[in-house]
Amino acid sequence: MSSSGAKLSRSPSGAQLKTTASSQSVTVVGIDPGLRITGYGVIRACEGKIQLLEAGIVRAVASRPLEQRIQEIYDGVAEVVRDHQPDFVALEQLFSHYERPKTAILMGHARGAICLAAAQVNAPVHAIEPTRVKKIMTGNGHAPKHQMQQAVRLQLGLKEAPEPADVADALAIAICVYHQRCNPLASS
């Protein structure tokens, strides 16, 4: 637990990726922002293979004032990006629903804290819409959580689907943005 009270639940994959001077790897931190639970996933791609390095959640204390929860999110995400020094950070694009504009405004605070953490390690931030992630991963832009979890499990060759769903979403975001940014066959 960090000094701010945020709980950072980390789950290292335990696997080590060895690279040679001739192979180039790309490390991506994917983030599914939330004011209570922010999911994150760290992947490394090398020679066309994507490997899970770490995944987990940053849990902010829901009963605390907004500014303290934002600090907790920042502290947790900053720790992850400092540890992994990613080539870039992949973040779910902010969207708003006309019936709940306040939610979009509040999520903007969380995204700002995440962008600041990325900027402090000079990692560019690339955003992607949640419906695009679902469409890329499953073929259905409105796929349910369990379908996304299974798609991530298959993409990363995991024995079990990532839990909670926030972690699976963060990993899916990382995978999709990696392919958009680094795959020469991906269309813009």
Q: Pick the catalytic residue from 32, 54, 87, 169.
A: 32
Element (H, E) at 166: helix 165-182
- 122, 64 Cβ separation under 8 angstroms: no
- Based on the residue annotation, tell me whether 92 is a catalytic residue of this protein: yes
Determine which one of 54, 75, 166, 169 is catalytic: 166
Q: Which of 47, 92, 99, 163 is catalytic?
A: 92
For residue 58, give the nearest of 177, 164, 178, 173 by alpha carbon.
164
Structure tokens at 3: 């000094």
**Active-site residue, 166 included:** yes
Would you say 73 and 60 are in contact if contact means Cβ atoms under 8 Å apart? yes
- Phi first, then psi: what are they for 52, rounded to 5°? -80, 125
Cis peptide bond upstream of 86, omega within 30 = no
Indicate the pairing of strand 125-128 with strand 49-59. unpaired
75 as an active site residue: the answer is no
Task: Give the residue numbers annotated as catalytic, written as ranges.
Answer: 32, 92, 166
